[in-house]
Amino acid sequence: IREQFAKLPLARERGYKPGTFSFNSGTGRCPTCGGNGFEHVEMQFLSDVYLRCGDCNGRRYRAVTLEVMLRGADGREASIADVLEMTITEALQFFGDLPELQARLAPLAEVGLDYLKLGQPVPTLSGGEAQRLKLAGHLADTSAKPTLFLFDEPTTGLHFDDIAKLLRAFRRLLDGGHSLLVIEHNLDVIRAAEWIVDLGPEGGDAGGQIIAEGTPDALRRHGASHT
């Protein structure tokens, strides 16, 4: 995305490089907040306070950097700060004429993360979202060698429709020659497994034993398995 901005006539006229449009480094970011969009105020007896930067108004960049506007496939014009505020769904529409960006963004929608903003800080993601973010990265990398993926309850907090998207993403990994080991309680995910190791009989101190293992059909016929 930064490379697209650096190609624009105004950016080239001013000598802007892709790094100019990074809020992590470079001369294009706001010098007051260091590209964070907020200022950290340490409090002695209370929780620290994060205040929106008064110079950039939380937009992370210098005003001159935001003068460079990119026209999207949907006809809108946006600065780099505007792009970072877009959700994945909005970005797919905006960059609809750029196949290389579509290939990077589409896997995020495929794993049910289409509501996230491009500039959303990673620490704000839940555990399930972080796992699916990594999954999307692997889906975008078609040259990866066969890998064993381990997931710890990736469906946490997901809607039924999003679980279906996640299962489609899992199948894409399997079709690519990868293997998946998933810790999960969701019955739709369990039903889609090739092999199940059922631990129990209960949770916590009352669990930890292998109650049954086999295919979903085999577990259906197992009398001692809650699954």
Residue 61: DSSP 8-state? B
Which residues of the chain carry a pLDDT beneath 50? Answer: none
pLDDT of residue 162: 84
| Residue 26 confidence (pLDDT) | 81
Q: CA–CA separation, 165 vs 148, rounded Å?
A: 20
pLDDT value of position 157 = 78
Contact 77, 66 (CB under 8 A): no
* Token pair recorded at residue 11: 């950016």
pLDDT of 122 reads 86
DSSP state of 30: -
Q: Give the pLDDT score at 23.
A: 93
pLDDT given at position 128: 81
User: Token digits for 55?
Assistant: 């110079």
b/e for 99-115, b at 16 or more Cβ within 10 A? eebeebbebbbbbbbbe
What is the enclosing helix (H) or strand (E) of 170? helix 160-175
Q: Residue 108: its pLDDT value, please? A: 93
46, two tokens: 């209370």
